[in-house]
Amino acid sequence: MNECYYDKRMDFFYNKTKTDTADEWTGPQLIVVLCFGTFFCLFIFISNSLVIAAVVKNKRFHFPFYYLLANLAAADFFAGIAYVFLMFNTGPVSKTLTVNRWFLRQGLLDTSLTASLVNLLVIAVERHMSIMRMKIHSNLTKKRVTFLIISIWAIAIFMGAVPTLGWNCLCDITVCSSLAPIYSRSYLVFWSVLNLVVFFIMVVVYIRIYMYVQRKTNVLSSHTSGSISRRRTPVKLMKTVMTVLGAFVVCWTPGLVVLLLDGLNCTHCGIQNVKRWFLLLALLNSVMNPIIYSYKDDEMWGTMKRMICCSSEDRSQERRSSRIPSTVLCRSTDTSGHFIEDGIIQGTICGKGDLGDKGNS
């Protein structure tokens, strides 16, 4: 019967797997990683907080798609917390950690990344359902959306806890991985392949959406004159799709491939030299999500700018005795730039368009 090492500190497992942690995480490299990590985390906290606040504040966002969008922002916010915890428990500190604390460190990362990825998949499916039925929003009820959100987090928490529940190498150190010294190599293969499969499914969904929109737009163009902006819709959608796919390819694929190589016990692949940079790429995905899924939505962008501008205006009024009229900042009123019936209403930002809302409040 194999001996188990639950009471050992992480230096025991790092030495067994011949993984260096202290030397490679000191000096200029550590400073660069920490600086970029701190900047990314601050942006994640601020941008995703704005997304969640916008969905709560604007009643036009009280629909399934935006509830899922807010949940994605919450998942990315959690990713920032996980990375902050990692920064304080990495480098030379890694060898001093207990097994349970190391499991917590990695479990937070796995949970946050899984939550973001699964949430993006659910958003893709929701958009597919809506667009195929030529509707602004899907027929998902609030109960179903709530169930989906709970399921997303249940899956994410389960995936983050699987190694702690037993799929580890504490009782068989011969199968320990190099990147994660107490994770079994078989688990790394499972986790990386599963995420790559989910990524592939999402690519297929978005390609299908694009092909459907292009086909429908061509049919409408042949029967009606249509506006120029409506004819540009397939191009705009294609740019969005390429942005989404490009973000995943750049941010996820390198890290997943490295984990897969480690799981396959590739000892000559030099994975230790690139692991920290690919971790930053994975974090960068949580930075890009608010930009891709929120700032490209004119109504979402407008709501966030109203919150920022109006709060800034309130502070300025406190410093002045006389009230200065606010500047009207307008975005494009071209609502046909979205999908044929994707129906996102444009608005006037921090300007006269807010007077109606203020009068009703």
Residues 298-336 have pLDDT tens digits of 777 788 888 888 765 555 554 554 444 433 333 333 433
Give pLDDT, residue 173. 86
**Residue with the larger pLDDT of the pair 114 and 36:** 114
* Tokens 């919150």 found at: 307
Please report the pLDDT score of residue 265 as a whole number: 82
Is this prediction's pTM over 0.85?
no
- Are 111 and 85 a contacting pair, CB within 8 Å? no
Strands (E) in the chain, as ranges, are 329-330, 348-349
Q: b/e map of 110-122 (b: 16 or more CB within 10 Å)?
A: bbbbbbbbbbbbb
Q: Which residue has the higher pLDDT, 9 or 332?
A: 9
- Statement: residue 103 has pLDDT above 90: yes
User: 211-255, pLDDT tens digit by residue?
Assistant: 887 787 777 666 555 454 444 544 454 565 567 667 877 788 888
The one-character DSSP state at 291 is: I
- CB contact burial 267-291 (16+ within 10 A = b; e otherwise): eeeebbeebbebbbebbbbbbbbbe
> Considering only CA atoms, which of 58, 112, 28, 102 is closest in space to residue 289?
112
CATH superfamily of 10-309: Rhodopsin 7-helix transmembrane proteins (1.20.1070.10)
pLDDT of 112 over the 50 cut: yes
Q: Per-residue DSSP letters for 295-331?
A: ITSHHHHHHHHHHHHHHHHHHHHHH-SSPPPPPPEE-
Asked whether 316 and 206 are in contact (CB, 8 A), the reply is: no
Q: Whole-angstrom Cα distance, residue 54 to residue 250?
A: 28
pLDDT of amino acid 138 = 65
